[in-house]
C-alpha cells in the first residue's frame, strides 16, 4: 500500500509540466514549482519564475490589483513583505493624491471659469456704464453681491440668445389673417400664397435658422455689449450719459439685426414658393442653367400638383390665376393640328 502511494507521488512529480512555458521537470531540475490554484491535471503546476512574470503582466505596476487563475478563477494568494513605516506612509500619501487628483483638476477648472466670467462681467459693466460710475458701483456694493452678480453677466448674455422673437414676428407675418397684408409698403414681403403652402414650406425653410451654430451663439452673445457700445457711439453720440447711449445702441442693434434676419428669411421663404420643375429638354436645360427663373409665379402649377385653394382665398388677399379657358383652347388647337 505504501509502495503504491509512493509510486503514485513519484509518477505525479515526474509528470509536472509548467502551463506557462510548457517545460517539464527534467528540463530544469533547479526550478521551483508552485500550485497556486485549485486546478488539476496539466494546469496544476507552474514555475515560480514564470508565475511571477505572468502576475507582473497582469498587474502592470499596480500591486493592489487582484490576479486570478484563468481556468478555475481562483484568486492567487500573493503576500508582500513589510516595507517599513516610512514607506507605508509615503504609499498611503501617494494613493490619496492619486485619488484626489481628478477632483482637484475639476475644482481648478471651475475656478478658472468663475474668475474668467467675473473678469468678463466687470469688463462689460465698465464698458456700459463708464469708468467712474462702474468703479463707484462695484466699490460701494456688497462683496457677496459683486462676487455672485458679475459672473452672471455672461450667463445672462448667453441665455438672451435663446429668446427668438424673430420667429414670433415671422409667424405673425405669414398668418393668412394678418391685417398688415393690406398695407402697401409691407405687402412687398408677401406673395400670392395659400395657407397650405405656408405650412408645408415654413419648417423646411426656417430649419437652418432655428438651429444656429453653437460657436455663433456664444460669440454673438459675448460680443453684444461691444456691438451695442459701438452702435451707440455711432448713432447716439449726442446722448451724454454713457449708460443711456449704450442701451439705445443695444436696442437699435438688436432691432436692426432682427429685422434684417426677418427680411432674409421671408425672402428665402418666398423664393422657395416660386420654384418649378421643368421638363428635361434641351431648351429647358439652356434656360435653367443659370438656376434662376424669369420671375413669373404660376400658382396653377401647384394647384395641379394637388394643392386645393379655398373659394374665399381672394378675400384674404390671395390671388390664384386659373386661366383654364385659355389652356383648354390651346390644348384643343394643338390636338386638331396633330390630327390634320
Overall average pLDDT of the 16-43 stretch:
84
User: Does residue 23 contact residue 46 with C-beta atoms inside 8 Å?
Assistant: no
323, part of any domain: no
Range with the lowest mean pLDDT among 75-84, 229-238, 313-322? 313-322
State the total domains in the chain: 2
Q: Within this chain, do residues 48 and 112 fall inside the same structural domain, yes or no?
A: no
Q: State the alpha helices, DSSP H only, in the chain.
A: 2-14, 48-59, 85-129, 131-140, 143-149, 152-160, 165-173, 195-205, 207-210, 214-222, 224-235, 242-273, 282-287, 299-304, 324-339
Q: Cell match 487563475: residue? A: 69
CATH number, position 21? 3.30.40.10
Q: Are 231 and 249 in contact (CB under 8 A)?
A: yes
Q: What pLDDT, on a 0 to 100 scale, did the predictor assign at position 248?
A: 94
Is residue 182 situated within a structural domain?
Answer: no
Q: Is the pLDDT of residue 30 over 50?
A: yes
**Are 76 and 91 in a shared domain?**
no
Residue 286: what pLDDT?
80
Instruction: Of 38, 84, 80, give the one whose Cα is nearest residue 59.
Output: 80
Give dist(CA 220, CA 253) in Å, integer: 12
Whether 143 is in a domain gets the answer yes
Burial status of residue 18 (CB atoms within 10 A of its CB: 0-12, 13-18, 19 or more): buried
Task: Report the range out of 70-84, 176-190, 295-309, 310-324 with the highest average pLDDT.
Answer: 70-84
Asked if residue 56 and residue 20 are part of one domain, the reply reads: yes
The per-residue pLDDT of the chain, averaged, comes to: 76
pLDDT single digits (tens) 153-167: 999 999 988 888 888
Distance of CA 124 to the CA centre of its chain: 27
Q: Is the Cβ–Cβ distance between 38 and 68 less than 8 Å? A: no
Is the pLDDT at 135 greater than 60? The verdict is: yes
My answer on whether 54 and 101 are in the same domain is no
Domain of residue 27: give its range: 7-80
Residues 95 and 36 occupy one common structural domain: no
Same domain, 27 and 46: yes
Q: Is the pLDDT of residue 205 over 80?
A: no
307 domain residue, yes or no:
no
Q: Tell me, yes or no, whether 208 lies in a domain.
A: no
Domain final residue pick, 109, 125, 160 = 160
Q: What is the pLDDT of residue 162?
A: 84
What's the pLDDT score for residue 278? 81
Residue at 335 is within a domain: no
Q: What per-residue confidence (pLDDT) applies to 90? A: 93
pTM: 0.56
> What region, left, alpha or beta, does residue 213 occupy, with left being phi > 0 and alpha being psi -120 to 50 degrees?
beta
List the grid coordinates of 53.
512574470
- Report yes or no on 45 lying in a domain: yes
pLDDT band at 316 (very low <50, low <70, confident <90, very high): very low
Domain boundary among 58, 80, 102: 80
The answer on 70 and 19 residing in a single domain is yes
Q: In the listed set 111, 130, 160, which residue is the last one of a domain according to the structure?
A: 160
On whether both 88 and 153 belong to a single domain, the answer is yes
Shared-domain flag, residues 91 and 154: yes
Mean pLDDT of 198-223: 66
Residues 95 and 135 in one domain: yes
62 shares its domain with 87: no
Amino acid at each position: 500500500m505504501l509502495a503504491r502511494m509512493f509510486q503514485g507521488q513519484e509518477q505525479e512529480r515526474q509528470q509536472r509540466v509548467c502551463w506557462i512555458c510548457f517545460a517539464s521537470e527534467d528540463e530544469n531540475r533547479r526550478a521551483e514549482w508552485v500550485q497556486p490554484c485549485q486546478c488539476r491535471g496539466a494546469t496544476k503546476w507552474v514555475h515560480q519564475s514564470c508565475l511571477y512574470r505572468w502576475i507582473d503582466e497582469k498587474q502592470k505596476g499596480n500591486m493592489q490589483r487582484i490576479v486570478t487563475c484563468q481556468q478555475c478563477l481562483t484568486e492567487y494568494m500573493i503576500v508582500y513583505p513589510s516595507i517599513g513605516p516610512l514607506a507605508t506612509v509615503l504609499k498611503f500619501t501617494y494613493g490619496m493624491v492619486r485619488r484626489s487628483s481628478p477632483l482637484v483638476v475639476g475644482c481648478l477648472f471651475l475656478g478658472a471659469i468663475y474668475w474668467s466670467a467675473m473678469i468678463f462681467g466687470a469688463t462689460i459693466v465698465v464698458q456700459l456704464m463708464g469708468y467712474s460710475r462702474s468703479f463707484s458701483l462695484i466699490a460701494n456694493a456688497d462683496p457677496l453681491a459683486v462676487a455672485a452678480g458679475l459672473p452672471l453677466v455672461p450667463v445672462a448674455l448667453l441665455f438672451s440668445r435663446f429668446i427668438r422673437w424673430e420667429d414670433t414676428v415671422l409667424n405673425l407675418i405669414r398668418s393668412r389673417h394678418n391685417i398688415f397684408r393690406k398695407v402697401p409698403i409691407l405687402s412687398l414681403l408677401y406673395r400670392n400664397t395659400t395657407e397650405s403652402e405656408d405650412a408645408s414650406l415654413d419648417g423646411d425653410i426656417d430649419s437652418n435658422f432655428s438651429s444656429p451654430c453653437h460657436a455663433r451663439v456664444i460669440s454673438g452673445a459675448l460680443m453684444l455689449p461691444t456691438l451695442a457700445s459701438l452702435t451707440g457711439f455711432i448713432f447716439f453720440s449726442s446722448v451724454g450719459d454713457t449708460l443711456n447711449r449704450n442701451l439705445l445702441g443695444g436696442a437699435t442693434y438688436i432691432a436692426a439685426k432682427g429685422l434684417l434676419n426677418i427680411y432674409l428669411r421671408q425672402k428665402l421663404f418666398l423664393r422657395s414658393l416660386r420654384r418649378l420643375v421643368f421638363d428635361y429638354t434641351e431648351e429647358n436645360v439652356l434656360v435653367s442653367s443659370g438656376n434662376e427663373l424669369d420671375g413669373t409665379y404660376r400658382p396653377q402649377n401647384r394647384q395641379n400638383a394637388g394643392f386645393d385653394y379655398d373659394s374665399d382665398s381672394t378675400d384674404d388677399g390671395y390671388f390664384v390665376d386659373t386661366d383654364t379657358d385659355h389652356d383648354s383652347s390651346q390644348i384643343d388647337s394643338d390636338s386638331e393640328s396633330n390630327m390634320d
